[in-house]
Structure 1
Amino acid sequence: MRNVNQLRNLIYPNHQLSIKPRYIIKNKKLVYIPMPIIDVHNLAGIKNYLFHEYFIPDGDSGIVSTLSFPFTQTLVNFTISHFHLNASLRGQPRHKSFYNYGHSSNALATTKKIMETFYDEAKARGQRPLLTIIPTCRDFEYYESRRELPYQNLINTLTKQGIPVFDFALPMLAYEDDYHSLYGLCSTHPNKKGYHVMAQVFMAYLNKVGIKK
């Protein structure tokens, strides 16, 4: 989600304005889009500055600027189309659909291109790159109910290109099946135990592939 976002407040509500740069794909290459300069005295027109913001109100994400008449029908449409509410109705993490092939945000292709570019540039410098994916607690919940990781398409596309990826999810579950104990709340980052488990499984992987200190 963050890879197709410029105004973080649209996905992480905050009292402070939070603007960020992002990348887009143009002619099969990554193009850096710098952080937009916002007129703080004209925040009502902020959408006019966000030319590469997927979550712009009244766009494909389902976020709306106002509810219009007839309100009941508008509310139904809002519930169905809003990316977060729709995910809740489907019983999946709100970021799950962004890993779908053909998603209107182009999030999967963008994320894959960012990781692929990092890998290629590191290789060109004579380094040994390793891409990692750290699951959220919601990812574990989804895996528990569907036996599939929400971001499996990302792993598949990278692996298909011969790019190695270490996904923490299954090794962490093998180490500690009570994944809720690895987080303070299921919506937060790992807790102390969670980071300890991550360190243990990652060290085991590095030893397995012959990467030493």
Structure 2
Amino acid sequence: MAKQPALSYLALGDSYTIGEAVEQHDSFPYQLVKLLNEEGLHFKEPEVIAQTGWTTDELMYAIEKRNLSQTFDLVTLLIGVNNQYRGYTTVNYQKEFATLLATACNFAAADKKRVFVISIPDWGVTDFGKQSGRDVQQIANEIDSFNRIKEEVTRLNGVTYIDITPISRKAPTDFHLTASDGLHPSAKMYTEWVKEIMPIVKANLNNGNQV
């Protein structure tokens, strides 16, 4: 019997996708592939379009610039924290996120079971957030507002939404969850995310007969 070709994965996002302040293999896309492969799937290394600091419009531009023509068996989208950080409006975010979600679905050959949207973590609970001079409760409220929009747009489009924000808010009680820069998730936190993400991804791919 011929060996099945390796599955492909496109990860779209910002610092939380590229894994700022951790080794590449500790970023959540790489940890996700490792765990999926341990579950009997056969994924190639992820294709990543992400950079620290990107907002929705910057990710849109980067995707256009990359000019990818292929489709993927799995697509994740995690974007929005820098829109909140820079004080961009939720109205603008809703519009641009909807465009990015449509793009993500196109990369999945319009198979929405292959697309997964991940919530925005709360950076306000980190040491960086507490020392930023900004109101951490306001940061939390704004992150929640952006996530409500993200979840609503995602679900209205029939795409799976995965909420990892509560995990990010455990950082104040476990310093091992934050990377050495005092802001970004550590490898341990990404592991906690992947424990949430992997079973959902696996179930959707199986239901969609991707494996």
Relative to its length, the structure with more helix (as a share) is 2
Same fold (TM over 0.5): no
Larger Rg: 1
Which structure has more relative contact order (CA 8 Å, sep 6+)? It is: 2
Give the structure-1-normalised TM-score.
0.43
Give the structure-2-normalised TM-score.
0.43
